[in-house]
Structure 1
Amino acid sequence: MDLKTEITKTVFETYVPAAKMPERNTSVFERLEASFQTAYFMMVRNLVSPEFETAIDNNANLKSLAIPLVCIDGFVRTCRTLDLVLTATGFGIVSTESTAPASKSRVDALIEELSIQELDLIDEMIQELIKVDGWGQTEQAKNNIPTFFYRPQQLKTLCGKVLTTQAWQFAKGCAVTASALLCNEISNEYMDELLEKLRTGSTNNADIIIIDKSLRFMADFISNYEQTKGCPNEAMLRQIVHQLESYRDSYPTYCSSKLYASRHAERYKNKKEDPTFFFM
């Protein structure tokens, strides 16, 4: 993607209206051009994957998301070093000794607002990348979909919490713990398969049932983490196991797992001639 062609002052100010300046004043935009390059590089390295960089230009939906993401991320990365001042039209750069920079709280609020927009744009890009053949096998796919609970909006829709960057970071940490607990119930093998199917958009109806039940468990775990001190809802875990055990033909990977073999191992039966009896 040719950034100089795609990201003009007008385009940038469309996605970051707080930085809008009079037409002839290009001070903010010009000081951000190098930051746009960094933002684009990080987007490709951490999200898209260098292997699939061409997909940005070849996929109109991806490109329409990548441009605002680069604009916003470029601004967020740099705005603290710009000596911003709040003007009638937005945030400009301090240009006289008599003008004081905007307060830290105002800049923090702006950064938080834009960071939430970034999270939503990244989420939308992930949904598009899932449709790109091969992306689901990349390290970027694994890093961006590490658990079932990988979409920021899940914090609102499933947990009923306000989405903030801090709350999202906390939720992601809890989700990793919850995912480990789920592995103990559905098996490592089936968890790996489900995550790969999520990353490639190939889940079937039986998978979706387990993912939905697992997401409800994860949302409960995250929502009540501080009150329960990280104790899981055992009843919700039993419901997931009950689904797997009741419809075994629909879950062949689970049924061929070490966990399944352990659960269904035949217990030793004492015989009359045994010199010692074992009670289990």
Structure 2
Amino acid sequence: MTQAIFESHVPGMADATDEVWRMIEPMCARALQKLSRYPDGGEMAAHKERVACLMAAREAIPHLDLAMTPQGFAVVRNENLVPASKDRVDALKESLRRSYTTALDALQVEALLHGWGLTDVGKRHIDQLVWQPTIAQDIGLRVPSERLRVVGVGSLLHEHGGGDAVYDTEFRALRPRLLAAHYALCDLISPEQMGELLDAVRNPPLMTPALQRLRYECLCYITAHFDGTPLVVHERRLLEVLRGDRAAYSAWASSSVCRAQESTRYENHTDDGTFFFG
């Protein structure tokens, strides 16, 4: 790792001298060590490099007395450098937080191609379909901004309803709602079929076109679950997909959930020998 590499990933902390870098260099080394739990190969080295730089920059900010210079941020060393305003430093922190979230998500997606999803850590991490903030962003989930909280907007919003984009902190707040949607989906498509779908998410070569189609419909269901809109259309669509290709969705077809969904329900007719009022 070099100063030039670090500053290419974190241009907001570019320094005309090397003072910032000398403090951050060991933090980068520690960050790379933490990332060693992810596999190597392919584009992993580049992803690890970027994530490590962002991790180190976030760790360093509380320990740096930052000042603004024509080149970016620098460490205050004398009276000729004016400390950066709190707003500027806060903006840098927020930018780094968002960049870190996106970079870590990209690293994990690449890691799936190298077997990470089959490890114990990967399996625990991918415990439902919306398993990282980027996926929540892709399906339009947002959280209410402080202004919207004040006026009483509900706990989750779709992208057309306003609110803040989902990054690491927001994603942790969404987890209970995401798990609720996950369990509702398991009740509909069966835990067995959900397990097969998650296995394919963890191990991309297993993701067949049929499973990709099911994943898409499940994500549409999750979006509706958060919107608070009626789920009946999505439930019907999911069952149409499952019933349309039983061979591809054999885990559902052989499940007790499927048997319950397709069992004949008793109707109380007046000409029935066991007719009763009720």
Q: Distance in 1 between matches of 2:103 and 2:70?
A: 28
Q: Which residue of 2 aligns with 1:177?
A: 180
Q: Which residue of 2 aligns with 1:20?
A: 14
Q: Alignment partner of 2:241: what SS?
A: helix
TM-score after normalising by structure 2 = 0.78
Q: Which residue of 2 aligns with 1:163?
A: 165
Match of 1:32 among 9, 13, 24: 24
Q: Which residue of 1 aligns with 2:246?
A: 248
Q: Alignment partner of 2:165: what SS?
A: coil
Q: Which residue of 1 aligns with 2:219?
A: 215
Percent of aligned pairs with the same amino acid: 26
Deviation at 1:277, TM superposition (A): 7.1
Structure 2 contact 129–219 (Cα < 8 Å) conserved: yes
Structure 1 contact 148–215 (Cα < 8 Å) conserved: yes
- Code of the residue aligned with 1:118 in structure 2: it is Y
Q: Distance in 2 between matches of 1:77 and 1:173?
A: 28
Q: Which residue of 1 aligns with 2:150?
A: none
Q: Distance in 2 between matches of 1:240 and 1:252?
A: 14
Q: Which residue of 1 aligns with 2:116?
A: 135
Q: Alignment partner of 1:21: what SS?
A: coil
Deviation at 1:116, TM superposition (A): 1.9
Corresponding residue pairs, total: 251
* CA 107–164 in structure 1, closer or farther in 2 if over 3 Å, else same: farther
Q: Which residue of 2 aligns with 1:11?
A: 5
Give structure 2 stretches of 5+ with no counterpart.
Answer: 141-157
Deviation at 1:68, TM superposition (A): 1.2
TM-score after normalising by structure 1 = 0.78
For residues 200-240 of structure 1, the C-alpha deviation after alignment (integer angstroms, 9 at most, x for no partner) is 00111111111001111212333x2xxx3xx7623212211
Structure 2 contact 133–166 (Cα < 8 Å) conserved: no
Structure 1 contact 155–171 (Cα < 8 Å) conserved: no
Give structure 1 stretches of 5+ with no counterpart.
Answer: 1-6
* CA 98–118 in structure 1, closer or farther in 2 if over 3 Å, else same: same
For residues 13-63 of structure 1, the C-alpha deviation after alignment (integer angstroms, 9 at most, x for no partner) is 1111111112xx221111112322332233334xx1xxx3xx2xxx24111
- Code of the residue aligned with 1:82 in structure 2: it is L
Q: Does 1:194 align with 2:235?
A: no
Per mean C-alpha deviation after superposition, the further-off stretch among 205-214 and 98-107 is 98-107
Q: Distance in 2 between matches of 1:279 and 1:209?
A: 45
Q: Which residue of 2 aligns with 1:152?
A: 133
Deviation at 1:79, TM superposition (A): 0.9
